[in-house]
């Protein structure tokens, strides 16, 4: 799985106080407009679920809900959500580029490679996806996870939109939470372990709306994904794995709902 590409050249950590302050401000602004506030909203959602009748286990959340009764308007709402997530990913890539870190440096070559990117992506999807499903079912049975409804869309265009949503989620999370955040924390002189923990905790925070099980599971996913990226400097495997996990969850739920007894 080791890439044959030359080792990436990373800028030296910022030494001036003004430069460090600028990086901290940049990180804060990015998190406020993206996953930082999402984490705060998710924590409030978890608190609301815990205080509601039936507790966390008695609540449900739709990941891809219908936004309008009229099919075309609903489709436009879904595409706007996809565009917003892709915009977040583009923001992360742009800010890294402005700081002297090219997309190739963080593992975003123009095209993924079969052996260096696709096969590891499939392996990561298997490593995370199957235990993740088991963790969700166990957490749901214990009443510490809400019932997750991956999709409630009913229109004819739902399948391609669900795939687009899966890829947009993957792009936003892996670019911002892994490549961008860890790279900028490196520029502040943070250790690899400290940066990895910050990235994983951020990933877990904005999944707390799923319950403690969802939050913990995503912290573990963040630790595995982040460490893999730190060791390989290849982001495509994470993008592919995340998109594949979400695609299977969204589309699998669409076809299995009501036909299997083990699916909440």
Tally of CB atoms within 10 A around 12: 9
pLDDT digits (tens, 9 = 90+) for 155-211: 899 999 999 999 999 999 999 999 999 999 999 999 999 999 999 999 999 999 998
Dihedrals phi, psi of 211, to nearest 5 degrees: 110, 175
Residue 104 in tokens:
């190739």
| Global pTM value | 0.92
Say what the pLDDT of residue 7 is.
65
Say what the pLDDT of residue 3 is.
45
Tally of CB atoms within 10 A around 83: 12
Q: Average pLDDT of 204-222? A: 93
Task: Give the domain ranges of the chain.
Answer: 17-256
The Cα 171–Cα 35 span in angstroms is: 13
Please give the sequence-ordered ranges of beta strands (E in DSSP) within 110-249, or none if there are none.
147-149
The radius of gyration of the chain from alpha carbons, rounded to an integer in Å, stands at 19
pLDDT digits (tens, 9 = 90+) for 132-143: 999 888 988 888
Q: Coil, helix or strand for 211? A: strand
């Amino acid at each position: 799985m080791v890439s044959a590409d030359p080792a990436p050249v990373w800028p030296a950590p910022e030494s001036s106080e003004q430069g460090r302050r600028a990086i901290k401000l940049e990180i804060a602004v990015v998190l406020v407009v993206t996953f930082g506030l999402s984490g705060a909203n998710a924590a409030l959602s978890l608190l609301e679920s815990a205080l509601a009748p039936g507790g966390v286990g008695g609540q449900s959340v739709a990941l891809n809900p219908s936004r309008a009764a009229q099919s075309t308007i609903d489709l436009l709402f879904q595409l706007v959500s996809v565009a917003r997530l892709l915009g977040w990913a583009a923001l992360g890539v742009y800010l890294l580029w402005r700081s002297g870190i090219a997309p190739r440096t963080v593992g975003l070559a123009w095209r993924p490679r079969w052996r260096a990117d696709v096969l590891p992506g499939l392996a990561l999807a298997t490593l995370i996806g199957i235990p993740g499903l088991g963790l969700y079912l166990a957490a749901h049975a214990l009443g510490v996870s809400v019932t997750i409804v991956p999709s409630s869309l009913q229109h004819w265009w739902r399948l391609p939109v669900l795939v687009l949503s899966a890829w947009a989620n993957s792009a936003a999370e892996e670019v911002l939470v892994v490549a961008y955040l860890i790279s900028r924390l490196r520029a502040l002189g943070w250790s690899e372990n400290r940066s990895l923990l910050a990235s994983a905790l951020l990933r877990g925070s904005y999944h707390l709306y799923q319950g403690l099980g969802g939050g913990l599971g995503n912290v573990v996913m963040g630790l595995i994904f982040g460490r893999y990226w730190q060791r390989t400097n290849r982001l495509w495997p994470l993008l592919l794995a995340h998109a594949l996990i979400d695609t299977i969850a969204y589309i699998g739920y669409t076809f299995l709902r009501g036909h299997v007894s083990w699916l909440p």
